[in-house]
Amino acid sequence: MANTESDILETSRDAFIEQWGILGSRWGINRTIGRVQALLIASVEALSTDDVMERLQISRGNAHGALKELVNWGLASQTLVPGDRKDYYVAEKEPWRIFTIVARERKRREIVPALETLKTCERDTSGLKGAEGRAFHAEMKELADFVDVMSVAMDWVATSERGTVLNLVMKQIRKRSAG
């Protein structure tokens, strides 16, 4: 028996939700949050906590926590459905916005604390006289300088218009392909 359009759509949505959950965990978002985000992205209509619980077979606490975290990150927002008192949620669906939000949040949560530690280690070891201490200090300085430059680059990408960055990337790809 041939698959119906509805079956194909459901299978594709399920595959997307599971893969996005895996991808989310690699972006610093736990798997459940990634799955909830994917469900919201794949949904045409706003979803309630109950809808999320039922569709993903997760507890109310997991659904509520994931939705709250997505709202905190700016990857989803709460909305009202006329005539209904429940809270409903919709996802940010524009890929560039998702990318810049995740980049901004990862920088705030991961890069900034790492850079602060590198700079503290660099500062605290600046007066060491032994070979091992000088080598450690040099490594911390080099890493701090690199992470600082990458942080500035991330800021530039995250605040740039999509077309600006994509045009630069495409230009570099064309150069490499031609060379």
Q: What pLDDT band is residue 7 in, cutting at 50, 70 and 90?
A: very high
Tens-digit pLDDT profile for residues 125-175: 999 999 999 999 999 999 999 999 999 988 888 888 877 877 888 888 888
Distances (CA, A) of 136 to 108, 124, 127, 140, 145: 26, 11, 11, 6, 14
Domain with 110 in it? 95-178
> Sign of torsion, CA 30 35 41 46?
negative
Q: 56 and 75, same structural domain?
A: yes
Query: Would the pLDDT of 79 be above 60?
Result: yes
Question: Which stretch, 3-12, 117-126, 147-156, has highest mean pLDDT?
Answer: 117-126
Q: Quick one: how far is CA 124 from the chain centroid?
A: 33
Strand order in the sheet with 47-48: 47-48, 88-91, 76-79
**Residues 62 and 101 grouped into a single domain:** no
Cβ-Cβ contacts under 8 Å for 142 (sequence gap 6 or more): none
- Please identify, among 91, 115, 132, the residue that sits at the C-terminal boundary of a domain: 91
Kindly state whether residues 119 and 144 are assigned to the same domain: yes
Q: How far apart are CA 10 and CA 46, in angstroms?
A: 18
User: Quick one: 104 and 83 in the same domain?
Assistant: no
Average the pLDDT over 57-84 and give the result. Answer: 95
Number of domain units in the chain: 2
Looking at residue 17, which CATH number applies to its domain?
Answer: 1.10.10.10
Confidence at residue 2, expressed as pLDDT on a 0 to 100 scale = 61
> Do 44 and 85 sit in the same domain of this protein?
yes
- DSSP, res 57: T
Residues in the chain: 179
With the CA atoms of 76, 157, 115 and 123 taken in that order, what torsion angle do they form, in degrees rounded to the nearest 10? -150
Do 12 and 59 belong to one domain? yes
Say if residue 54 is in the same domain as residue 72: yes
Extended strands (E) in the chain:
47-48, 76-79, 88-91
